[in-house]
């Protein structure tokens, strides 16, 4: 398959691909069936410095950039979406520090995240505020040299396994978006508790939970940026983290496509492999084309990030990658199940797991509906009148 990666990027991709196929793939079905967080996979990532792909060299990372990080998530997701999510959330949970952290905050937490010694999480969503962040009810009240947090968060990935959380709370409850601030909260802080873990349709080995803050007192120095900057920080984070979910989705879709292809080469009906039947060939061709088109949007975003692009262009590219990859994941996995027929519906074969895992990529980090709103909003801001010059 043709690609435009550098020799170093190919080498890193092949390392992650080999680890995924030889060490992660044999565990994938068991992780899904047990619903247990795979600490052995975390250890595998630590031992091979995979977490380092997401961090700069100054903080103990490899400094290989965004595109390489996305490729790593994609390769792991081809065999196990839960394991790929561990990587994606290490980026999501650390982006607040990377984008808005003071130098001393970065020094305090990023090296432990880069090594994988600590895991992290991102806590924005609440039971009554998902896409509508301004509706959040968690508060942070300044008290001397501390902030006191009260409230709860819902659907938080890595709940109970993360050592540190990026938490958003209202420092000015009457100010809407402008009243939101961002904080770093360590898991052993008094007044902080994980109160519930959710049983889920897919990504079963990943923990998704509810957080509670009951007079949770944190140092004032744990504030990220300034008071009232939380919403802007959250949106900048999501611009850069959504493609992590897109990479997970693409990996799921490509993994399902690859499995369906190999199955179709060996499964015979009417005296020949089903890969020689035109209707099956059409499905495989469409699955492959959709995955490749999604990869183009995803890698384009990665290169934009690595070249320092920011602002509306990056926002739009991020949403487009997330939208396309999530839809392709659901499409390709559904078609893979169809190609396998009855075998696709039973747990002996991995495509039913791929299909269950794919659906969440259309929901978290901003639903597909939100991505369409984001893309259209950025389009409306653009001036394209010059393209219509001379058109009657």
Residues classed as catalytic: 365
Contact assessment for residue 336 and residue 354, using Cβ atoms and an 8 Å cutoff: yes
Phi and psi at residue 10, to the nearest 5°: -65, -40
Half-sphere exposure of 53 (CA within 13 A, CB side): 27
What is the distance between the alpha carbons of residues 202 and 358, in angstroms, rounded to a whole number? Answer: 8
For residue 111, how many other CB atoms are within 10 A of its CB? 16
Burial of 342 (0-12, 13-18, 19+ CB in 10 A): exposed
């Amino acid at each position: 398959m043709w690609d435009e990666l550098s020799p170093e990027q190919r080498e890193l991709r092949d390392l992650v691909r080999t680890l995924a196929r030889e060490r992660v793939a044999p565990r994938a079905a068991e992780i899904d069936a047990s619903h247990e967080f795979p600490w052995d996979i975390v250890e595998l990532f630590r031992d091979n410095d995979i977490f380092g792909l997401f961090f700069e060299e100054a903080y103990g990372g490899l400094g290989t950039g965004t595109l390489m990080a996305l490729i790593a998530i994609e390769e792991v997701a081809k065999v196990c979406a839960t394991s790929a999510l561990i990587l994606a959330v290490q980026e999501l949970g650390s982006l607040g520090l990377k984008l808005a952290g003071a130098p001393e905050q970065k020094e305090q937490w990023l090296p432990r995240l880069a090594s994988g010694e600590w895991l992290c999480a991102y806590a924005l969503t609440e039971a009554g505020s998902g896409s509508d962040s301004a509706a959040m009810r968690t508060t942070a009240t300044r008290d001397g040299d501390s902030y006191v947090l009260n409230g709860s968060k819902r659907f938080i990935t890595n709940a109970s396994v993360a050592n540190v959380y990026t938490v958003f709370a209202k420092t000015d409850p009457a100010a809407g978006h402008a009243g939101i601030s961002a904080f770093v909260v360590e898991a052993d802080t008094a007044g902080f508790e994980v109160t519930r873990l959710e049983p889920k349709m897919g990504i079963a080995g990943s923990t998704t939970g509810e957080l509670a803050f009951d007079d949770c007192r944190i140092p004032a120095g744990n504030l990220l940026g300034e008071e009232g900057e939380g919403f802007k920080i959250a949106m900048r984070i999501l611009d850069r983290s959504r493609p992590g979910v897109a990479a997970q989705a693409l990996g799921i879709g490509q993994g399902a496509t690859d499995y369906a292809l190999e199955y179709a080469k060996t499964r015979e009906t009417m005296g020949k492999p089903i890969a020689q039947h035109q209707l099956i060939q059409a499905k495989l061709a469409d699955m492959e084309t959709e995955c490749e088109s999604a990869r183009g949007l995803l890698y384009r975003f990665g290169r934009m990030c690595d070249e320092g692009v920011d602002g509306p262009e990056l926002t739009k590219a991020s949403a487009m990658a997330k939208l396309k990859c999530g839809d392709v994941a659901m499409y390709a996995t559904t078609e893979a199940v169809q190609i396998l027929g009855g075998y696709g519906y039973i747990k002996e074969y991995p495509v039913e797991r791929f299909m269950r895992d794919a659906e969440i990529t259309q929901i978290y980090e901003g639903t597909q509906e939100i991505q369409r709103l984001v893309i259209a909003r950025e389009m409306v801001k653009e001036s394209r009148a010059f393209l219509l010059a001379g058109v009657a």
